[in-house]
Amino acid sequence: MESSKADEKYLLKNGRVLLKEMFDGLAYTYPVFDVYPESRIIGLKLKSEKRVCLLGGGGSGHEPYPFGYIGDGMLSASVSGYVFTCCSSLNIYQAIKYLNNYNCNGGVLLIVANYTGDVFNFGLACEKAKKIDNINVAELIVSDDCSRPGGKVGKRGMCGLLYVIKILGVLAKRGSSIEDLLSLGKNINGKLASLGISATSCNIPGEEPSFLLQKGEFEFGVGLHGEAGTSRVKACDVKDLIRLAVDKICSTLGLKEFSVICLIVNNLGLVSHIELGALAKYAKEYFDELKIDVSRMFVGTFIVSLNMYGFQLSVIDVSDNQEWINYIDEETSAFAWPGNHMSIKPIEKQKSENIKIPKIDDIDPKLGVCISEKGSLILKSILKQIGEDLLKNVDVLNKLDQEIGDGDNGSTISRFASDLLTNLNNLPLNYPASVLYSLAFICEDKMGGASGALYSLLLTGAAGHLASMNYLDWTGALKNALDTSMKYSSARKGDKTMFDPIIAIHQVFQEYGNLDARDYVTVLEKALCRVHDVCNDVKQMKAEFGKASYVESVTSVGKMDAGAYGVALWLKAIHTAYMDTSK
């Protein structure tokens, strides 16, 4: 039988086998846990004491929920079912009895997300434990989804149940009764609102996505099991999505100016940390705009929907119950809860040392030899030509780099070229050493990556030599450029890198010794011819650096190195501009 497209998105295809493997892995990772892979129960090895224990659970596919929240001051155990399928009432019943053995019949409170299967199975296990074993057990149903009216079945349980677990877990640890915890839990539930938005559905192994979206569409009010939301919205800016979600949450909870909340920004599966950080910024800034105080904010992967590409905002209104913040702040050993003392805003924030951001203007504008006005005009023309020629060849460089590199050489070079042209009129053109230091700064500041650092080293080395001389020693500058950069790179001649043509340029300059301005045309023409020949040779070389050197499927022989080609471009620009302006 051929695997489906959905299967192709997973390293391991058999969901049921995979669950046992996951639990075995957890046993190795967290030796403090009691792990029962066959029944998919995980418990914290507790000392015997009479107090209420919290038990959570549900279908798999939401990890790190539920077992990531087992720890001192949160859950004491969890039960998992198959993917998006509630755990068996028999396994829940076993987990209740497991906890009762430790807590001297102090009580077990079941924290249940409001989904029909979960409510039924936890309810059945609860009844059995009461009737058969006389265990003091109760079920708290959490329903915080604000994307739709609840109707008879009630609102769905979402990420907000973590607030319930965190607050009640602390109070259970302090000895609160199961009746008090259940009453407080219901109160907390009325102060929760969560809403999910996604750009894709998720893929359950062996099944097709439950919904498909067109380009630019987002599913608004999406659930935790890949189910579709309440509507589809088109948005060109994620800030618009955040505003829609926040407005819905605010209307649900009746939040107004000076309300106090805690906020979770939850990754539903595939959202990167970079994106989560940006989402957190947009959400916090919109709440600030509404004059709502975000007292605590937690950002990360809390409860997922397998590999869904989406996020969820979850809010608890603590305006009238600010002591809840203290319970949320209390430390826990649960590995998935990110909150700690670093989440708390200091009452008196110590004045931080200001980090001085370097600027191009900080460079000494009068280093080394001062050249004539005519010389400075020639230098300006050369730099302008370099910037323009590099920008014209961005796509060419990217295409070359796609074949044996990372595909971004042209884009990286373009950032240098653009900033060079922007700053051209402000460069100290009468002082070549200062100009080269300025170019090194632009490379370091704007380009990034290996090529940015390498060009910055080359230019820094050349500038350092010119600054130390009382005449323009371009041959010595090239030598010092190579010496400086080769301290940090093991690439050498013949390794199919940008060093090959630069070494060739230096060799030509070296052949002419101390250059006079009258020699520049000849030297540049000869260097241009030599670089052309070297680039032909580079094509036939085997790459010893970059992607082609460590990815076996990439063949470098017969393909041009983008870095070497870039050197040929700027050398040709120097030659062209010099010929045009030195006449």
Closest alpha carbon to 175 in 259, 319, 51, 269: 51
Evaluate whether 22 touches 77 at the Cβ level (below 8 Å): no
Query: What angle do helix axes 409-423 and 373-392 make, rounded to 10 degrees?
Result: 150
Residue 175: count other Cβ atoms within 10 Å of its Cβ.
12
Distance of CA 329 to the CA centre of its chain: 25
Selecting among 62, 225, 506, 575, the annotated active-site residue is 225
Considering Cα of 187, then 115, then 135, then 30, what sign does the dihedral take?
negative
- Is residue 225 annotated as part of the catalytic site, yes or no? yes
Residue 107 CA to residue 54 CA, distance in Å, equals: 9
Q: What is the dihedral of CA 422, 578, 499, 403, to 10 degrees?
A: 70
DSSP-H helix ranges across 30-79:
none
Residue 378 CA to residue 373 CA, distance in Å, equals: 9
Residue 558 CA to residue 492 CA, distance in Å, equals: 19
Phi, psi of 520 (to 5 degrees): -60, -45
Residue 566 CA to residue 123 CA, distance in Å, equals: 69
Q: Helix-strand-coil percent breakdown of the chain, rounded to 5?
A: 50, 15, 40
Closest alpha carbon to 419 in 398, 434, 396, 440: 440
DSSP-H helix ranges across 260-322:
273-289
Tell me the catalytic residues: 225
